[in-house]
Amino acid sequence: MNDLHFVRHAATEMAGTFCGHSDPPVSAAGHQQIAELVERLGEDRYDAVYTSDLRRAQTTAAVLAAFFSIPCVARPALREICFGQWEGLTWSEIETRDPAYAARWMGAYPKVAAPCGEAFSDFERRVSAETDWLLNQKEHRHILVVSHAGVLRSILQSRCMRNEQEAWALTREYCCSFRYARAVENASVVGR
């Protein structure tokens, strides 16, 4: 069984908006966060970095891969949930544009998708299948996984038995991380 160390990507200028499949670059503050992340992880050893194919994750992963001199592999299944028509909007903007749908979404979360967005159940299945693949793939055993807050929250809730509030608190910060091994079905939170 492989050991996975999940990392949330660094900040972008879209912080505070619904940024799922949008593809902004890492901000200046994000580059500083990556430097701090490298410092925190510097004593560890990894065999590879697997990353979302979105730019903010790939930038974070590329620095880690270079630091540890390990391969960096993009995996589209590690993407954040798609927010459809809400991509790039703040919650205030969403409520102003369509207050009825916003209220319906909040009342039924996570059972209602954003307009033209990915269903939460589909997102969770995608994340679960990708996590199983990472845990069982044979080429690398100690793996850094650079992804997004929603992906990390899904794993913390479904695999580590953290409640929604705990999962949000543990993934609020950019470049936060936690280790996961299915053998213990637990996570130890590291950093930020």
Q: Residue 96 is part of a domain; what is its CATH number?
A: 3.40.50.1240
Supply the pTM of this predicted model.
Answer: 0.93
pLDDT of the residue at 153: 97
Token pair in block for residue 82: 């798609």
Burial of 149 (0-12, 13-18, 19+ CB in 10 A): buried
Q: What is the pLDDT of residue 174?
A: 98
Task: Dump the DSSP string for 19-48.
Answer: -SS--PPBPHHHHHHHHHHHHHHTT---SE
Domain total for the chain?
A: 1
Strands (E), 48-184: 48-51, 72-74, 142-147, 177-181
- Given this model, what pLDDT does residue 186 score? 52
pLDDT digits (tens, 9 = 90+) for 80-119: 999 999 999 999 999 999 999 999 999 998 899 999 999 9
Amino acid 191: pLDDT: 47
* Domain housing 162: 3-190
**pLDDT at residue 108, rounded to an integer:** 94
* Cβ–Cβ < 8 Å for 77, 129: yes
DSSP readout, 153-172?
HHHHHHTS---HHHHHHHHS
Low-confidence ranges of the chain (pLDDT < 50): 184-185, 191-192
